[in-house]
């Protein structure tokens, strides 16, 4: 029933939440060093979507974990849209973050695989 999926709308909503989390965490999406660090951390996100010590996490840590989850969700949404023949693009914050993710993946980072629900 992919004909009924609004991948572009979903991706726009996720991209907005990513932008909000970046602002909350005081991460400037124009800062390539900050994005490189975030990309590295996001690519190390546990395949089971769990962080060790989650129950003892501080509010800033929780926001950071949520951001990593949103990044994985955005990858999955874009991938599913592509399978359905849709070309999906996010906002400027997502595009900057996506460039950092691809650069980090190319430098040896470990990107989420299709097997763990992301692209």
Neighbours of 80 (CB within 10 A): 19
CA 20 to chain centre: 13
Band (56; pLDDT cuts 50, 70, 90): low
Residue 105 is predicted with a pLDDT of: 84
Please check the confidence at residue 96 and state whether its pLDDT lies above 80: yes
Mean pLDDT value of segment 45-52: 58
Residue 70 is predicted with a pLDDT of: 93
Band (117; pLDDT cuts 50, 70, 90): very low
What is the SS3 string spanning 46-114? CCCCCCCCHHHCCHHHHHHHHHHHHHHHHHHHHHHHHHCCCCCCCCHHHHHHHHHHHHHHHCCCCCCCH
Report yes or no on whether pTM surpasses 0.85.
Answer: no
């Amino acid at each position: 029933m992919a004909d009924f999926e609004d991948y572009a709308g979903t991706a726009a909503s996720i991209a907005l939440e990513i932008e909000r989390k970046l602002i909350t965490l005081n991460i400037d999406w124009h800062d390539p060093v900050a994005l490189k660090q975030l990309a590295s951390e996001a690519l190390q996100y546990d395949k089971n979507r769990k962080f060790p010590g989650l129950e003892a996490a501080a509010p800033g840590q929780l926001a950071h974990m949520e951001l990593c989850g949103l990044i994985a969700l955005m990858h999955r949404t874009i991938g599913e849209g592509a399978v359905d023949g849709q070309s999906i693009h996010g906002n400027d914050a997502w595009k900057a973050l996506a460039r950092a993710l691809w650069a980090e993946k190319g430098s040896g980072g470990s990107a989420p695989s299709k097997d763990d629900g992301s692209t």
